[in-house]
């Protein structure tokens, strides 16, 4: 009996929190540690933001592009060539199988981009699709990457492309070591090892990954911006948001992602933690399929928009965690047009418009509701029910439909929907990333334009804005394009959701990021 008691005491008291570990609790597991081939935020945060650097980088907590591994850059007069001066004496990490013999130089940059550009490149990963590189259209934009000398690289473009610099700051453009890739091939391990044993220049060195459990890193003592203050960084995977919160409460997490909106009032009262928020770079919307009757008629789209009560959606679905949307881009993004009209809620006017369009008695239609929770839309089904009730008032009978997420994506890509909920989170802080991918004529083919709306004037404006690198001129084009969007209403823009992160009061120097990046290079524990 006594023995059991002693054992029990030992057992319970052995739980002590080692102070030098910084614990970040995230919502999912990384699929790979090679930022070139992953597409989800969790994998990007676990690789690009911790282990790697890029030529240019977004400043911590902002969408502004600043220097990274490149100290400075110049753009040629024809806007078709970008030359970068690289930082000197930046070292790559080493691991059990690899020790770099030289610092980072122009060869690494050329390799990083050429291997993604040309699948026949000897160091290109076999069967890799480089989804992000291609989604940003870089295969069509970059003509060549040329090493001028060890510390100078020139990118030659096929056409002027204003968002190019911002694209280079994105996670998939992280710089990998050419020497390491060659070593992997020579030693017979193959390029697959890039996914499980990453080597970068970043603030933290990858140590180990236990799938679905935790990723471990140690501080990089040779980091070119100075050694991080945290010695051991641990990313713990806790899928369930309720459990994540419990871990935060018990002090097992220092930072946790994606708290549920309904938990926020409770979190605000916690003695040992606080909420940090930022206007998210996102939008949630309901797209009207402009290829299908009756949504081919702008009047119908305007009528339906007028019958929807945006305020109730914000109050009930977002619970003060969202701002009312009227444009396709969020207010924190440059070129946001504040002079466009907000949604007017006017049931009588909506009915009148519908009558003018020839649907005095309304019609029957379908609304697809999001089957998954995304940062921009906490509850698709609830939103669907509210819209259903609103539209019933003008005689439009809405049937709510939903599918499993992969099916939802597949069917909507093909345009099988009538009305559909969807959303978008920005990648590079450029309006082109919203306007072009979600609303251009060419993206009807790729499936990301769910309104399947192709307006010649709108399209001409966003194409001009894409090619011009003059900021003022681009702003003008985008603002005009937003006016057209606002009038023609291919979507009902619902809201821009705030992003929230919960941090322990022991954490110092943490900034929340508009892209959802998590970077701990300058964070410390009290």
The footprint of another protein (CB under 8 A) covers 10-12, 14-18, 21, 23, 29, 31-32, 39-40, 127, 129, 131, 134-135, 192, 195-196, 207-208, 210-214, 216, 234, 236-240, 242-243, 246-247, 249-250, 252, 403-407, 409-410, 413, 422-424, 437, 443, 445-448
Considering the complex, state which of residue 177 and residue 448 has its C-beta at the smaller distance from another protein. 448
Report the candidate in 39, 69, 41, 65 with the shortest Cα–Cα distance to residue 54: 69
The minimum distance between CB 493 and another protein, in angstroms, equals 16
Q: Which of 32, 171, 179, 22 is nearest to 94 (CA)?
A: 179
Q: How crowded is residue 163: how many other Cβ atoms within 10 Å of its Cβ?
A: 23
Rounded to a whole number of angstroms, the minimum distance from the CB of residue 520 to another protein is 14
Residues 6+ away with beta carbon under 8 Å from 127: none
User: Min. distance of Cβ 79 from another protein in angstroms?
Assistant: 26
Angle value at C-alpha 35, between 201 and 247, nearest 5 degrees: 90
Beta strands in 262-394 (DSSP E): 273-279, 282-288, 322-324, 364-368
Which pair of structure tokens corresponds to residue 149?
A: 């000398």
Q: Which residue number, 286 or 353, has a Cβ lying nearer to another protein?
A: 286
Instruction: For another protein, give the closer residue by CB, 64 or 410.
Output: 410
Q: Which of 286, 284, 285, 283 is nearest to 418 (CA)?
A: 286
Coil/strand/helix, residue 387: helix
Comparison of 250 and 344: residue with beta carbon closer to another protein: 250
For another protein, the closer CB: 216 or 506: 216
Spatial distance between the Cα atoms of 431 and 107, rounded to a whole number of angstroms = 32
* Nearest to another protein of 188, 406 (CB atom): 406
Task: Give the SS3 label for residue 227.
Answer: coil
| Shortest distance, position 475 Cβ to another protein, whole Å | 26
Closest CA to 267 of 287, 249, 254: 249
Count CB neighbours of 137 within 10 A: 16
Distance in Å, CB of 499 to another protein, minimum: 17
Least separation in angstroms between CB 120 and another protein: 14
Distance CA 33, CA 36 (A): 9
Is residue 243 helix, strand or coil? helix
68 or 490: CB nearest another protein: 490
Rounded Cα gap, residues 283 and 285, in angstroms: 6
CB of 494 to another protein, least distance (A): 15
- Looking at the Cβ atoms of 129 and 320, the one nearer to another protein is 129
Name the nearest CA neighbour of 20 among 280, 218, 288, 261.
218
- Closest CB to another protein among residues 207, 399: 207
Least distance to another protein, CB of residue 90, Å = 28
The residue with tokens 């990118």 is 155
Please, what sign has the CA dihedral across residues 512, 516, 522, 526? positive
**493 vs 25, 304, 420, CA distance in Å?**
32, 12, 12
Helix and strand totals (H; E) in the chain: 20, 20
Minimum separation from the CB atom of position 237 to another protein (A): 6
Of 130 and 359, CB closest to another protein: 130
How far apart are CB 235 and another protein at their closest, in Å?
A: 10
As measured in angstroms, the least distance from the Cβ of 392 to another protein is 29
Nearest-CA neighbor of 480 among 449, 444, 443, 435?
Answer: 435
3-state SS assignment for residue 333:
coil
Q: What are phi and psi of 299, to 5 degrees?
A: -60, -40
Closer Cβ to another protein, 243 or 389, answer by number: 243
Q: Which is nearer to another protein, 238 or 300 (CB)?
A: 238
Q: How far apart are CA 44 and CA 38, in angstroms?
A: 7
Tokens coding 175: 């710089």
The CA distance from 521 to 524, in Å, is 9
Closest contact distance (angstroms) between CB of 196 and another protein is 8
**Cα separation of 201 and 224, whole Å?**
8
């Amino acid at each position: 009996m006594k023995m059991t008691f002693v054992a029990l005491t030992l057992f319970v008291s052995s739980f002590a929190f080692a102070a030098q570990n910084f614990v970040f609790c995230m919502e999912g597991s990384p699929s790979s540690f090679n930022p070139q081939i992953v597409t989800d935020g969790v994998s990007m945060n676990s690789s690009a933001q911790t282990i790697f650097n890029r030529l240019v980088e977004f400043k911590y907590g902002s969408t502004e592009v600043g220097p990274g591994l490149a100290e400075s850059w110049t753009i040629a007069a024809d806007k078709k060539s970008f030359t970068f001066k690289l930082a000197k004496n930046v070292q790559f990490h080493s691991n059990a199988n690899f020790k770099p013999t030289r610092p980072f130089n122009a060869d690494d940059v050329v390799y990083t981009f050429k291997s993604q550009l040309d699948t026949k490149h000897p160091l290109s990963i076999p069967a890799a699709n480089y989804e992000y590189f291609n989604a940003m259209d870089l295969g069509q934009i970059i003509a060549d990457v040329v090493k001028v000398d060890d510390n100078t690289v020139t990118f030659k473009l096929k056409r002027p492309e204003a968002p190019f610099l911002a694209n280079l700051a994105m996670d998939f453009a992280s710089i990998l070591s050419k020497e390491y890739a060659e070593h992997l091939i020579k030693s017979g391990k193959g390029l697959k090892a890039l996914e499980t044993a990453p080597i970068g220049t970043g603030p933290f060195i990858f140590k180990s990954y236990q799938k679905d459990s935790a990723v471990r890193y140690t501080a990089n003592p040779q980091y070119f911006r100075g050694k991080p203050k945290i010695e051991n960084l641990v990313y713990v995977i806790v899928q369930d948001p309720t459990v994540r919160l419990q871990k935060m409460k018990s002090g097992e997490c220092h930072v946790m992602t994606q708290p549920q909106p309904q938990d926020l009032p409770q979190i605000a009262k916690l003695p040992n933690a606080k909420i940090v928020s930022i206007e998210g770079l996102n939008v949630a919307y309901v797209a009207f399929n402009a290829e299908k009757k009756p949504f081919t008629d702008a009047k119908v789209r305007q009528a339906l928009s007028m019958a929807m009560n945006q305020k109730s959606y914000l109050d009930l679905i977002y619970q003060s965690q969202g701002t009312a949307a009227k444009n396709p881009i969020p207010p924190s993004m440059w070129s946001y047009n504040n002079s466009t009209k907000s949604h007017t809620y006017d049931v009588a006017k909506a009915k009148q418009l519908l009558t003018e369009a020839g649907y005095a008695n309304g019609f029957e239609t379908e609304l697809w509701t999001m089957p998954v929770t995304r940062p921009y839309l906490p509850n698709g089904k609830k939103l669907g029910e509210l819209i259903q009730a609103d539209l019933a008032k003008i005689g439009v009978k809405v049937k709510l439909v939903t599918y499993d997420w992969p099916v939802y994506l597949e069917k909507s890509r093909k345009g099988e929907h009538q009305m559909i909920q969807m959303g978008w989170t920005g990648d590079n802080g450029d309006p082109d990333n919203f306007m072009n991918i979600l609303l251009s004529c060419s993206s009807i083919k790729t499936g990301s334009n769910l309104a399947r709306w192709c307006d010649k004037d709108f399209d001409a404006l966003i194409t001009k804005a894409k090619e011009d690198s003059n900021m003022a001129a681009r702003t003008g084009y985008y603002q005009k394009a937003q006016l057209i969007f606002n009038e023609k209403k291919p979507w009902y823009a619902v809201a821009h959701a705030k992003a929230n992160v919960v941090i322990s009061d022991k954490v110092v120097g943490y900034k929340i990021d508009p892209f959802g990046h998590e970077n701990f290079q300058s964070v410390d524990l009290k």
